[in-house]
Amino acid sequence: MTDELVFLPLGGAGEIGMNLNLYGYGNPKKPTWLMIDLGVTFGDGSPPGIDLITPDPAFIEERKDQLAGLVLTHAHEDHLGAVQYLWDRLRCPIYATPFTMEILKRKLGDTNFANDVELHELPLNGSVTIGPFELDLITMTHSILEPNGIAIKTPLGTVLHTGDWKFDPDPVVGEVSDEAALERLGDDGVLAIVCDSTNVFNPGHSGSESELTKDLTKIISACTGKVAVACFATNVARLATIAKVAEACGRDVVLAGRSLQRSTTAARKCGYLEDIAPFLDEDAAGFIPNDKLLIICTGSQGEPRAALSRIASGGHPRINMGDGDTVIFSSRVIPGNEVSISAMKNNLVRAGIRIVEDTDGHIHVSGHPNREELIEMYQHVRPKISIPVHGERRHLEKHAALALECQVPHAIVNENGGMIKLAPGDPTVIKQVKSGRLVHDGNRMVPLNGEAIRSRVQGLWNGTVMITLVVDKAGTPISELFITTTGMLEPYEEDDILNAVADNVFAALERLPKKKRESDNEISETIRITSRRAFRRLLDKKPITDVHLVRV
């Protein structure tokens, strides 16, 4: 049977975040698989109680004996955040460059299988063979240290998996994108590119990190009170930019948020931030004059437990802000977080805090490529096939159209679960496989569309009812009907509603034939159906209803 090369996204195609990509090579009936990235996304309150969501790895979990390894392109949560939750289902070797590996090790330290994971640290621009795949790492620039494009070489052709990237001539910390390596790759011939689509609607270039210094200095130098700058904890270059601006403005820098501490510790361990003075911890904030204090904090997306949200609500144990103070949002709004960010900003304004956003100055640049950068990438690589990823459907369609304008022969719009045959022959989606989402619920992973979450959502919308009844051996009621509800009734209406429900239930039981009263299931189901119909008639609600029947 002829060998095939296929690409299968299980996360990150048709959405931004939660990346899980698979490449398969070999016998179509049993190929060897390579995984690129294993990330998370974060809950928006729907369903309730869910903070973290991962791709469902069921497809590759069922074939884990064919999984040669997992390669992480960089250390953002949407690319490696699911490893600590899902690796035990896959148990494959993991490959990453030093900074990403340092972040990963800290996450694995929270698991009970950390010592079982086979870790391989790769140098920047390094190469490695994993099963039938020969991989060359290509250093890129992004809003984190050590992002890598990966050239995946097989006997059927080379695929460039870009990861997240941009072209920044002065990234402040870290390396510039290796455009010469991309050009050489294009000269050697590229079968396909699997490419970031996040900013495909934005014209021009995304901008350089170094361009932020001027406006940030101007804004902060004019502040007379405390200043807090909210940014992503993993954007080490932004931390360096803010630190240099703070020094120029005569302010000491305090880090607020554990993730910031983890990122800076990992960066320094890997040889970065050597020209930046050590940051102060939160305890120092109360001892620095207001006009000399700058706080770098987490929580730019409105995360309820992050530092900025706690500051905004007045609930931070060591940092307080109020009249005359300023909060600068040096980050973009991730789609889906608008409501939580707006609520946090309203809390800041209520406290008398001035808010500075990107409409007030050049205080943030994206880590993803705008249209001109995408065009430059296609000019370097010159692939035969373009597969847009890391975008919603509208991003993928726009990116595919741009690729065709760049003279790419084939551009395939594909979402999670679509398996694309890249070679031999013309590229095409050959099948749809199981894909979905898991949620971190308490201390376990459960399906997003499973019974636990479905019941929770139903209970949220319709409430819950527990009914208890005692019957004798003949099935005749010998107690009152005890009804407990949650999320349904106001105290003043309980007596009338519950009495009406009880009357309906007892009437239904009287009509139940003697033979059926011998069955606990028949009695319980009669109570459940009758009570639900009563609640529907009285309240227009269909609650989750459980019956506890006691026969004596």
Note the pLDDT tens digit of each residue in 99-137: 999 999 999 998 999 999 999 999 999 999 999 999 999
DSSP single-letter state for residue 277: P
Domain boundary among 325, 360, 395: 360
Those residues whose C-beta lies under 8 Å from the C-beta of residue 209, and which sit 6 or more positions away, are 168, 170, 171, 172, 237, 238, 241, 365
Higher model confidence: residue 457 or residue 353? 353
- Is 248 within 8 Å of 316 (Cβ atoms)? no
Residue 413 lies in a domain: yes
> What H or E segment, with its residue span, contains residue 229?
strand 227-230
Question: How many separate domains does the chain show?
Answer: 3
pLDDT(458) > 90: no
The pairs formed by 503-506 with CB atoms below 8 angstroms and a separation of 24 or more are 504/530, 504/531, 504/533, 504/534, 505/467, 505/469, 505/481, 505/530, 505/531, 505/534, 506/477, 506/481
Whether residues 94 and 181 share a domain: the answer is: yes
Element counts in the chain: helices (H) and strands (E) = 16, 29
Whether residues 56 and 180 share a domain: the answer is: yes
DSSP string over 38-97: E--EE--SSSTT--EEEE--HHHHTTGGGEEEEE-S---HHHHTTHHHHHHHH---EEE-
pLDDT band at 321 (very low <50, low <70, confident <90, very high): very high
Whether residues 349 and 254 share a domain: the answer is: yes
Residue 316 lies in a domain: yes
Whether residues 147 and 196 share a domain: the answer is: yes
Question: Rounded to whole angstroms, what are the CA distances from 81 to 92, 307, 373, 458?
Answer: 16, 20, 27, 29
Residue 456 lies in a domain: no
Q: CA-to-CA distance for 130 and 49, rounded, in angstroms?
A: 39
Residue 453 lies in a domain: no
pLDDT single digits (tens) 522-537: 999 999 999 999 999 9
Q: CA-to-CA distance for 510 and 388, rounded, in angstroms?
A: 65
Global pTM exceeds 0.85: yes
Whether residues 228 and 271 share a domain: the answer is: yes
Whether residues 340 and 393 share a domain: the answer is: no
DSSP string over 474-539: TS-B-S--EEEEESS--GGGHHHHHHHHHHHHHHHHHHS-HHHHT-HHHHHHHHHHHHHHHHHHHH
Residue 379 lies in a domain: yes
pLDDT at 444: 81
CA 348 to chain centre: 26
Domain boundary among 360, 390, 415: 360
Cα–Cα–Cα angle for 439, 121, 264, rounded to 5 degrees: 70
pLDDT single digits (tens) 484-532: 999 999 999 999 999 999 999 999 999 999 899 889 999 999 999 999 9
pLDDT(37) > 80: yes
Handedness of CA 52, 57, 58, 61 (dihedral sign): negative
Q: CA-to-CA distance for 307 and 334, rounded, in angstroms?
A: 18
- Is 149 within 8 Å of 179 (Cβ atoms)? no
Whether residues 172 and 26 share a domain: the answer is: yes
Interstrand relation of 4-11 and 20-26 (parallel, antiparallel or unpaired): antiparallel
Pick from 69, 112, 72: which is nearest to 92 by CA?
A: 69
Take residue 128 and report the two structure tokens written for it.
Answer: 């490695």
Take residue 477 and report the two structure tokens written for it.
Answer: 């009621």
Whether residues 337 and 485 share a domain: the answer is: no
Whether residues 219 and 137 share a domain: the answer is: no
CATH number at residue 528: 3.10.20.580
pLDDT at 47: 72
Q: CA-to-CA distance for 171 and 206, rounded, in angstroms?
A: 12
Whether residues 171 and 259 share a domain: the answer is: no
Q: CA-to-CA distance for 325 and 351, rounded, in angstroms?
A: 9
Q: What is the mean pLDDT of residues 333-356?
A: 91
Residue 457 lies in a domain: no
| For the chain, percent of residues with pLDDT exceeding 90 | 88
Q: What is the mean pLDDT of the chain?
A: 94
Q: CA-to-CA distance for 53 and 76, rounded, in angstroms?
A: 15
pLDDT at 45: 65
Take residue 386 and report the two structure tokens written for it.
Answer: 């373009």
Whether residues 70 and 156 share a domain: the answer is: yes
Whether residues 235 and 123 share a domain: the answer is: no
- Which range of residues forms the domain containing residue 267? 209-360
Domain boundary among 360, 378, 411: 360
CATH number at residue 325: 3.40.50.10710
pLDDT at 167: 98
pLDDT at 44: 65
Residue 111 lies in a domain: yes
Take residue 290 and report the two structure tokens written for it.
Answer: 């207001």
Residue 338 lies in a domain: yes
pLDDT at 106: 93
